[in-house]
A and B are shown apart, each in its own frame.
Chain A
Amino acid sequence: MSVAAARSDPTGFSLREYATCLAGIVWREGLRFLHQRERFISALVRPLVWLFIFAAGFRQVLGISIIPPYETYILYEVYIAPGLMAMIQLFNGMQSSLSMVYDREMGNMRTLLVSPLPRWYLLFCKLLAGTAVSLLQVYAFLLIAWFWDIEPPPIGYLTVLPALILSGLMLGALGMLISSGVRQLENFAGVMNFVIFPMFFASSALYPLWRVQEGSPMLAYVCQLNPFTHAVELIRFALYGKMNWVSFAVVAGCTALFMIGAILAYDPSRGFSRRGPAGGET
């Protein structure tokens, strides 16, 4: 019987304390993001290059028939906009999760992890904060895209929000899971090659699945298994005020799975253990 167990003082935390903690973590992440202007600009330039250059070039090559959720013929730019929104979140999720586990933010991770709140909750808040940052990026992108004639119905800007939160969490948790599982991926270029590019290209972000099916049934199958495809489709439907239940189920399931995996696999000593024996700081 421990001394502590016999104590009568209040233990645990109130809901208000949990909420304060979450608000604080999101607030700080937002402030930091606003201070890193280069990160904001590069996060915005990437999808805009795709939109302005790639989509314009491909407009004539790819014909898009009327597929849900669209009710008329659409331009290729309109088709790839949801995929680019998901791409912003993909990059953001990988970037913030990687920096979270590895040394760059180790100091900040230490301050976070000595908080007395449960560790799973702290990591969840961190993921939510990363998602909030991705929302800023996505809405900034949508604003610019509006001037490029990508004009979803006004209600779509609202209905897409829950979809974006869910997909942002999924991609952030995936990033965290990958970075705790694979050591060599600390290098961002590695993640680009082995995670971001395959996920992005083997999805419905750039071309509708029926088109892929015509070219390669095998690839279409892979695309269908890719959770990123479902994130894209969930966002695409939500942006037009519609619901894609299959995609929702896949994204929600993957979010839960990745998040549990990421929290279980998260090992704060990882950033140190490599340095430990070599460096003097033990």
Chain B
Amino acid sequence: MGHHDPAAMTAGDAQRGGGSLPAAGPVRDPAEVAALSIAGVTHSYGKRVALADVSFEVAPASFTALLGLNGAGKSTLFSLITRLFGIQSGRISIFGYDIGREPSEALRRLGVVFQPRTLDLDLSVMQNLLYHAALHGIGRREARSRGGEVLERIDLADRAASKVRDLSGGQMRRLEIARALLHRPNLLLLDEPTVGLDVKARADILKHVRQLVAAQGIGVLWATHLFDEVAPSDDLVVLHLGKVLAKGQVANLIAKAGGNDINSAFIRLTEAFEKTGSVAP
């Protein structure tokens, strides 16, 4: 890779970021720049409102679970964050870079695992990685060495030449996560990554991603409808029918909602919302 490597520089500049602000702007501690910031995002498909005034943040090096049933608006939100849809109203930024105004800088710092599989089944494991690297401007040689590294980490080094079609569901998911990290982003989005996997593969993926947060300081937004994937220490955003019903640390939210566990807390929150039609303070 040449003189300036978009992936390598992401780690540092997010931290440096706020340091050289102009006098006019508010002085922010660089560590405070959220990995992902969603502010007042509303999105409709014709008359149907899919997201209504959604706001929350994902801190760097944190695991934030986005919990919502099917149809809550999780995938719409992901499409907005990844610039797939244009933002109708509100603001989304990644490490301070607005996705609407500076999409390139924002997307450089972002890795995504979409819910539907997005691998080329007929291409080999390594070919999939090389293609992704090329999309980020990473040259062949560098891509091969990074590809080797990430495959080592997910125990697929010996499968580099296999066709993706021949991998198991869990292996494919791990490969997608490895691919999303190839350009070394500091924010990783995962949209229901464990759907369709068996219990062991699910646990493996979850453990792997939590390790990424702990060891590499990556900020993670994990969308799910499975309550058991959420740990008490996680940050949690509860999304229901396009609205944020609650956000905060899981343990606090459970205490506040008055349930015994995340499951009962969720039911209480959604029932209260459906009764009153508004979000509890």
Once bound together, how far apart are the Cα atoms of A268 and B84, in whole Å?
A: 6
Residues of B within 8 A of A7 (CB): 13, 16-17, 20, 96
- A21→B45 contact, CB < 8 A: no
Interface size on B, residues (CB 8 A): 67
Once bound together, how far apart are the Cα atoms of A163 and B114, in whole Å?
A: 39
- B45→A115 contact, CB < 8 A: no
Q: Which residues of chain B from 56 to 101 have any CB-CB distance to chain A below 8 Å in the complex?
A: 70-76, 79, 82-86, 93, 96-98, 101
Nearest B residue to A11 by beta-carbon distance? B105
Q: B135 within 8 Å of A by Cβ?
A: yes
Q: A280 within 8 Å of B by Cβ?
A: yes
- B71→A16 contact, CB < 8 A: no
Residues of B within 8 A of A106 (CB): 116
Q: B25 within 8 Å of A by Cβ?
A: yes
Once bound together, how far apart are the Cα atoms of A279 and B97, in whole Å?
A: 32
Residues of B within 8 A of A6 (CB): 20-22, 25
Most buried by B among A2, A12, A23: A2
Residues of B within 8 A of A10 (CB): 4, 9
Given A28-B120, A114-B110, A115-B135, CB of A13 within 8 Å of CB of B104 = yes
Given A4-B98, A282-B71, CB of A116 within 8 Å of CB of B84 = no
Residues of B within 8 A of A193 (CB): none
Q: A1 within 8 Å of B by Cβ?
A: yes
- A116→B107 contact, CB < 8 A: yes
- B98→A114 contact, CB < 8 A: no
Of the candidate stretches B136-144, B260-268, B270-278, the one touching chain A is B136-144
Given A272-B79, A281-B75, CB of A111 within 8 Å of CB of B132 = yes
**Which range holds the interface residue count of chain A?**
35 or more
- B137→A17 contact, CB < 8 A: yes
Residues of B within 8 A of A11 (CB): 102, 104-105
- A20→B139 contact, CB < 8 A: yes
Of the candidate stretches B122-130, B214-222, B230-238, the one touching chain A is B122-130
Residues of B within 8 A of A36 (CB): 122
Q: A14 within 8 Å of B by Cβ?
A: yes
Q: B250 within 8 Å of A by Cβ?
A: no
Once bound together, how far apart are the Cα atoms of A110 and B13, in whole Å?
A: 26
- B105→A4 contact, CB < 8 A: yes
> B9's contact among A9, A14, A282, by CB below 8 Å, is which?
A9
> A20's contact among B4, B116, B137, by CB below 8 Å, is which?
B137
Q: A61 within 8 Å of B by Cβ?
A: no
Apart from the given pairs A13-B104, A114-B83, 4 other A-B contacts in the complex at a CB distance below 8 Å: A17-B137, A27-B134, A116-B103, A281-B115
A-B contacts, 30 listed (Cβ < 8 Å): A1-B22, A2-B98, A3-B21, A4-B17, A6-B20, A6-B21, A13-B137, A16-B2, A17-B137, A21-B134, A25-B135, A27-B134, A31-B122, A35-B123, A36-B122, A107-B116, A108-B118, A110-B114, A113-B84, A116-B104, A116-B107, A117-B104, A268-B84, A269-B84, A269-B85, A276-B48, A276-B76, A277-B48, A280-B70, A280-B71
